[in-house]
Structure 1
């Protein structure tokens, strides 16, 4: 418990913002003023919300929740302007005194199992980085091994370098996670530096639609929603999800969740609240060391 009481994801967010400022010009996003002072229901939990934009980045935002001694949360993301087809930087970490649940990735804008050219463009050179933290053959040597079952419908939003893991409270593991977070974010910033602006209007529209689909999925199915509701109440949590965490879900496109994912439609027209509806579950990493998908559907 002593280790947990001294642990905070604030240093992760601080590093990322400082590193971003070295590479680009950050200016406050309009959502920052509205959400920078979130009051918890218990009067004890600490909430820090910051959001920015930059020349190639539509939204860079950070949310940390410190509910010592019960939980620590980091939700950090960087979403590109639609003029760029850059991946979306995504860090979702949830830690209690017993368990940490982690997703760290450069989420692809397009399904890499289908868009091979997109995978080649952004992930081929990053595979050594992913393999560094998710070694393949000898499980005991894996720094951050595959966490548990995940279905193919969720997998389409992940890249071959995704870190999806669970581990018990450990300073060693959190040090590894901090190292991975720093390297992954630096890798994303490098991609941002090198990104060339798209001039084809149809490609820009495709990027916009792809990001909107991603935001629509996350805004509806993100597993952190119950935590937010418990900490700040249902109404404010809904606003934080749609206007801060996944800002753009109501402005980048007109399609609804059921337009994108009709398999979730109930007979009465409402959305089925189940996390996953279809697809094979993968208990081990479904990509090989070269980023080739090896978890084919039966």
Structure 2
């Protein structure tokens, strides 16, 4: 991605993204502080140059809307923002993860599918057929970030932005534009969603969201940084009770219940990043959102 003028984004902050998201949500609904906010809003890092901000809310149709930002002066900037609907809706999960160092920004921005869009064509048609304009707009501005494993793809949608770029002011402005577009689309989906009345389907939605939360809590790539900044105990609580709140409340299945292929001989979880050993060098979906990727070995 082209630098586009202006050197590294001095003073850049992901707080701008959070402020926009909460402002947009408040235009449409009433945000109520989520119980998890009380415990984590005053989290302090053990490094004086680091500021951690944690906010969480719920609202009509929204089970959890939460953000975590980490700001280290002249060093690392992190954004982890997500929105989860109530189980009465099968809505995609809004997901914005960004890690910026002085050298590069690594970004995932997506409307994560609640159900596999490769196996569930009906779900892909329902939500993504009319959203392909998002990735058509940003696929050149925020190009595919290179090899990514099949493991990482399992909860991505056909409109995912996965990109790595030089952290210039111009590039971050493009990212901010993409964040705004994706988030406004998600809020529109929330507004238009039809409440499910079938207990069976609600239970399926709840389990699908729990499966996602269980995966993310186990595989969170930011955990080593959180552990360094907060200590192991608080970092684990932040992951389980804040970032992926619901992993304990929405279901009782464990990570290995959902993903038995990660079971080691001693019954513990295999911590390797990829168990599948395949990777994708280029975007594996076509312009219509159909999966066409050909995986490469390792």
Match of 2:201 among 200, 203, 206: 203
Aligned to 2:162: 164
Deviation at 1:291, TM superposition (A): 0.7
| Structure-1-length-normalised TM-score | 0.95
Task: Point out where structure 2 has 5 or more consecutive residues left out of the alignment.
Answer: 1-5
| Aligned counterpart, 2:74 | 69
CA distance in 2, matches of 1:33, 1:297: 44
Partner of 2:54, secondary structure, is strand
1:58 to 45, 57, 63: 63
2:116 aligned with 1:118: no
Preserved contact between residue 107 and residue 163 of structure 2 (Cα < 8 Å) = yes
SS in 1 for 2:80: strand
Match of 1:180 in 2: 178
Match of 1:255 among 232, 253, 256: 253
Q: CA–CA distance in 2 between the matches of 1:75 and 1:91?
A: 6
8 Å CA contact retained: 2:97, 2:108:
yes
Task: Give the match's secondary structure for 1:18.
Answer: helix
- Per the alignment, residue 221 of structure 1 pairs with 219
Match of 2:17 among 12, 30, 37: 12
Q: What does residue 187 of structure 2 align with?
A: 189
SS of 1:79 mapped into structure 2:
strand
Contact residue 113 and residue 156 of structure 1 kept, 8 A: no
Report SS of the residue matched to 1:5. Answer: coil
Contact 2:96–2:109 (Cα < 8 Å) also in 1: yes
Q: CA RMSD in A?
A: 1.3
> Does 2:101 correspond to 1:103?
no
1:4 is displaced (CA, Å) by 3.7
- Deviations along 1:190-226, whole A, 9 cap, x unmatched? 0000000000000000000000000000000010111
Whole-angstrom CA distance in 2 between matches of 1:68 and 1:286: 37
Which residue matches 1:138?
none
CA offsets, 1:18-61, max 9 Å, x none?
00001111100000011000111012201111000011000000
Preserved CA contact (<8 Å) 1:29 1:59: yes
Contact 2:52–2:68 (CA<8 Å) still a contact in 1?
Answer: yes
Paired positions, count: 291
Structure 1: which 5+ runs fail to align? 135-141
Residue of structure 1 in register with 2:29 after alignment: 24
Distance 1:130 1:120 in 2: 16
Alpha-carbon distance in structure 1 between the residues aligned to 2:11 and 2:215: 34
The Cα of 1:168 is off from its aligned counterpart by 1.5
Separation of aligned partners in 2, 1:115 and 1:155: 15
CA drift of 1:279 comes to 5.3
Contact 1:5 1:68 in 2 (8 A): no
**Mapping for residues 43-54 of structure 1, pairs under 5 Å:** 43-54=48-59
- The equivalent of 1:244 in structure 2 is 242
Q: Answer with 269-278 or 195-204: which moved more.
A: 269-278
Residue in 2 that maps onto 1:154:
152
CA deviations 1:56-112 (Å, max 9, x no partner) are 000000100001211000000000100000000000000000010000000000000
From 272, 275, 291, the counterpart of 1:274 = 272
What TM-score does the superposition give when structure 2 sets the normalisation length?
A: 0.95
Per the TM alignment, residue 285 of structure 1 is displaced from its structure 2 partner at its CA by 0.1
Q: Which residue of 1 aligns with 2:3?
A: none
